[in-house]
């Protein structure tokens, strides 16, 4: 059997995607459950959303609205942005850095495994470039950085889907602007071994003992991961604009957890397509 990367060949009109099928398009209506809170913090109101989609995808987002801080009109970033008539008041840019702390309990067990995948594509002398994907098991605490064609997943050690594949969730970051101003915002994701007192990525309030660090970067210190905690860092650099008043249109930042082999097929597969599991023979 030869596999052809790239789009499927176009089939003549009247033929389905697979042998014996009519050219019909299927769909099933999905539903989302959205949980959200709104918190007022200083001049801002923050909307914290947890969206659970019927296909198993979770989308976590923080939206910010409110009022530009009237205290920050000193162009302290070297440029600012003129807000209001003419150009006498320059609003200073600022950063919103949000961390999500994820404590997985896949198949009822906190003992999950972390994997990193990297793909590298190289041009070949032939027509089709070659892609090689490698898996690295993350067995010890890690401060990870995003890279082209890199992603992580958290894999269940307790359960498999109906196809016999271990259940996992892939971390899918949204757009981020990494903030270099603090030690704990210098990396995109942290994997730390569970410690009850480690609750907040920075300015952690709980007492973790003498000499313990106060932020997540300090907690990455070589422990073996048995019960991994994932910290996702998504940053937004806000350069103000006239339209930010008033109220400011919501600016969003966030990420997704995408199910990877949690179920044997898309939970929203229309019944007519339920047989399409695995390598189905193409019409020829
Ligand atoms: Cu802002």
CATH number of 46's domain: 2.70.98.20
pLDDT value of residue 127: 84
Identify whether 145 is part of a domain: yes
Identify whether 73 is part of a domain: no
Identify whether 80 is part of a domain: no
Distance 139 CA to ligand 1 centre (A): 37
Secondary structure letter of residue 195 according to DSSP: -
Distance 102 CA to ligand 1 centre (A): 25
Cα separations in angstroms, 33 against 59, 103, 251, 267:
10, 20, 21, 15
pTM score, whole prediction: 0.89
pLDDT value of residue 282: 61
Distance 152 CA to ligand 1 centre (A): 29
Identify whether 5 is part of a domain: no
Distance 65 CA to ligand 1 centre (A): 8
Distance 252 CA to ligand 1 centre (A): 10
Distance 64 CA to ligand 1 centre (A): 7
pLDDT value of residue 4: 45
Question: What contacts 57, CB < 8 A, 6 or more positions away?
Answer: 256, 257, 258, 259
Identify whether 100 is part of a domain: yes
Identify whether 50 is part of a domain: yes
Distance 257 CA to ligand 1 centre (A): 25
Overall domain count for the chain? 1
Distance 95 CA to ligand 1 centre (A): 7
Distance 178 CA to ligand 1 centre (A): 15
Domain that holds residue 201: 32-67+94-122+130-238+247-273
Distance 96 CA to ligand 1 centre (A): 6
Q: Beta 58-66 vs 150-160: how paired, if at all?
A: unpaired
Distance 62 CA to ligand 1 centre (A): 12
CB-based contact 240:74 (threshold 8 Å): no
Distance 35 CA to ligand 1 centre (A): 23
pLDDT value of residue 3: 46
Identify whether 45 is part of a domain: yes
Distance 238 CA to ligand 1 centre (A): 5
Q: Which residues in the chain land under pLDDT 70?
A: 1-22, 281-284
Identify whether 199 is part of a domain: yes
Q: Vertex 177, ends 176 and 183: CA angle to 5°?
A: 110
The per-type count for the chain, helices as H runs and strands as E runs, is 1, 14
Distance 214 CA to ligand 1 centre (A): 25
pLDDT value of residue 17: 64
């Amino acid at each position: 059997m030869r596999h052809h990367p790239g789009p499927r060949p176009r089939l003549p009109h009247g033929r389905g995607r697979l042998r014996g099928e009519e050219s019909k398009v299927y769909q099933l209506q999905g539903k989302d459950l959205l949980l959200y809170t709104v918190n007022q913090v200083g001049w801002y109101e923050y909307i914290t959303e947890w969206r659970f989609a019927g296909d198993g995808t979770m989308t976590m987002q923080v939206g910010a609205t409110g009022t530009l801080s009237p205290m920050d009109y000193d162009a302290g970033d070297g440029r600012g942005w003129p807000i209001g008539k003419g150009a006498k008041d320059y609003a200073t840019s600022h950063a919103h850095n949000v961390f999500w702390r994820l404590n997985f309990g896949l198949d009822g067990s906190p003992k999950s495994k972390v994997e990193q995948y990297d793909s590298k594509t190289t041009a070949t002398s032939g027509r089709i470039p070659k892609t090689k994907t490698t898996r690295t098991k993350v067995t010890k605490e890690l401060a990870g950085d995003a890279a082209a064609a890199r992603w992580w997943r958290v894999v269940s050690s307790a359960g498999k889907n109906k196809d016999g594949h271990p259940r996992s969730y892939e971390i899918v970051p949204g757009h981020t602007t990494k903030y270099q101003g603090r030690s704990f915002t210098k990396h995109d994701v942290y994997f730390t071994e569970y410690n009850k007192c480690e609750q907040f990525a920075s300015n952690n309030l709980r007492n973790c003992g003498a000499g313990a660090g106060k932020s997540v970067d300090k907690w990455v210190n070589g422990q073996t991961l048995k019960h991994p905690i994932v910290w996702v860092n998504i940053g937004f650099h806000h350069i103000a604009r006239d339209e930010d008043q008033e109220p400011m249109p919501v600016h969003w930042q966030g990420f997704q957890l995408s199910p990877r082999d949690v179920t044997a097929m898309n939970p929203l597969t229309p019944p007519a397509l339920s047989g399409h599991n695995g390598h189905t023979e193409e019409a020829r």
